[in-house]
Amino acid sequence: MKIKLTEFAEYHDTDFDEALKIAKEKLPQEYISGKGKNTWISLEGQDILGDGLFIDEIIPKHFKGKVLSICPNPRFNMVHFVEMGKKIPVLMPNRLKDRFLGKIICFEVIESETGVSYRYVKS
């Protein structure tokens, strides 16, 4: 069930413009529809934003990509990351490593002092 971002921001006691900025930065485009004050957030997007409570550092960026193959290290699948225009290794749970070949998955970007890594997120 979708909800208007104005109602979501009001429920979480935050400014609409700040909520819109965070939603556009942190959520995949598929979770957002509409423009301006008529912006709607899907149920998955509500969960992601609600968990972080609009704290920028806590909410990892979520993206979607197509699984191309299993990497030599079977803990990873190679995913086409459209926003960057390249293939990246995404850490997958062992039980799911060969189930998503050719399918679109949601993953998050984790930035640390050692670099950037990517991890599968159940959508």
pLDDT higher than 80, residue 52: no
Which residue intervals of the chain bear CATH 2.40.50.140?
A: 61-121
Report how far residue 67's alpha carbon sits from residue 69's, in angstroms, rounded to the nearest whole number: 6
Determine if the pTM surpasses 0.85: no
pLDDT higher than 80, residue 16: yes
Mean pLDDT for the stretch of residues 53-62: 62
Architecture of domain 61-121: Beta Barrel (2.40)
pLDDT higher than 80, residue 57: no
Mean pLDDT for the stretch of residues 79-101: 90
% of the chain residues with pLDDT over 70: 92
Q: Is 59 in contact with 48 (CB distance < 8 Å)? A: yes
